[in-house]
A and B are shown apart, each in its own frame.
Chain A
Amino acid sequence: MRVEQIAVFLENKSGRLAEITRILAEHQVNIRALSVADTADFGILRLIVDKVEEAKKALRAGGFTVGKTNVVAVEVSDNIGGLAHVLAAVNEIGLNVEYMYAFVNKSSENAVLIFRFDNMDKAIERLQQKGFVLLSGEQICSL
Chain B
Amino acid sequence: MIWVEEVESLPRQGLESIQLKRLQGLVERVYATVAPYREKMVAAGIKPEDIRSLDDLKLLPFTTKDDLRDNYPFGLFTVPLEEVIRVHASSGTTGKPTVVGYTENDIDLWASVMSRCLAMAGVTRGDMVHNAYGYGLFTGGLGAHYGIEALGATVIPVSGGNSKRQVTIMRDFGSTVLLSTPSYALNLADALADVGVSTDELKLRVGIHGAEPWSENMREEVERKLGIKAVDIYGLSEIIGPGVAMECLHSDRGMHILEDHFLPEVVDPETLEPLPYGEAGELVFTTLTKEAFPLIRYRTKDISKLYAEPCGCGRTLIRMEKVMGRTDDMLIIRGVNVFPSQVEHVLMGIEGVEPHYQIEVNREGTMDTMSVLVEVSEDIFSDEIRVLEGLSKQIQADVKDMLGVTCKVKLVEPRSIARSEGKAQRVVDNRKI
Contact = CB atoms under 8 A, between A and B. Distances in A.
A69 interface: yes
Given A7-B383, A39-B385, A98-B384, A67 B414 contact: no
Nearest to B415: A63
B411 A67 contact: no
Contact of A42 (B377, B383, B411): B411
B73 to A, nearest CB: 48
A143 B68 CA distance: 76
Interface in B364-387: 376-378, 381-386
Given A65-B377, A98-B384, A116-B383, A9 B413 contact: yes
Interface in A62-78: 63-67, 69
Contact of A11 (B378, B389, B412): B412
A26 interface: no
A104 to B, nearest CB: 23
Interface in A20-37: 37
A83 interface: no
Interface residues of B, number: 18
B382 A67 contact: yes
B414 A37 contact: no
Interface of B is mostly: loop
Interface residues of A, number: 21
B386 A65 contact: no
A99 interface: yes
A16 B382 CA distance: 18
Contacts of A44: 383-385, 388
A11 B374 CA distance: 11
Contacts of B385: 37, 39, 44, 99
Given A7-B381, A41-B410, 13 more contacts: A9-B376, A9-B381, A9-B413, A11-B413, A44-B383, A44-B384, A46-B383, A64-B413, A66-B381, A67-B381, A69-B383, A98-B386, A99-B385
16 contacts: A7-B381, A9-B376, A10-B413, A11-B411, A11-B416, A42-B376, A42-B410, A42-B411, A46-B383, A63-B413, A64-B414, A66-B378, A67-B381, A67-B382, A98-B386, A99-B383
Interface of B: 376-378, 381-386, 388-389, 410-416
